[in-house]
Structure 1
Amino acid sequence: MQISLPCQVIPKPDVLFQPLNGESILLDLYTEQYYSLDDVGTRMWELFKVHGNVDTVIQHLLDIYNVEEEDLRRDLAGLIDKLAAAKLITTEV
């Protein structure tokens, strides 16, 4: 089954990103809510900031991690859903 992903993921400019020992903290400056990302989530966030294009991000992650593309797409979709629900990103289809 094909996982549905947006074409673009853009971190919102009012979200502060601070890497910390391989993981990271996100602070929504508007709501003053903190969020944390593990090392893989941190790498995904960094790639969203640089590239935005989800297909490009997937290719970079496949080069970095020894993972099946379907598993990566499922994990990426889960993170995108959580970030979008927290209003930390915008997406384009």
Structure 2
Amino acid sequence: MSKKQEHATAYWKENIRYLFILLAIWFAVSYGAGILFKDSLNQIKIGGFELGFWFAQQGSIYVFVILIFVYVRLMNKLDKKYGFNE
């Protein structure tokens, strides 16, 4: 295997690891906070709304948008690390 191919394989493995971690965070927030822990989170009210309802309706979307920016930053660093930046 050539050096370039080894770099591409390592790059792809690290990219998949980042994706898995970020999607796990999003799943935990959207499914966990919005469905599994909804009843306990609903004991807390923010702005008149129950926290479990807020996570189910808006919180998971906000977290997803934040994770997009985190992914972009991570990928820019990864591109520089492996020399794929332009």
**Higher normalized helix content (fraction of residues):** 2
* Structure of larger gyration radius: 2
For normalisation by structure 2, the TM-score amounts to: 0.32
Q: Which has the higher contact order (CA 8 A, sep 6+)?
A: 1
**Higher normalized strand content (fraction of residues):** 1
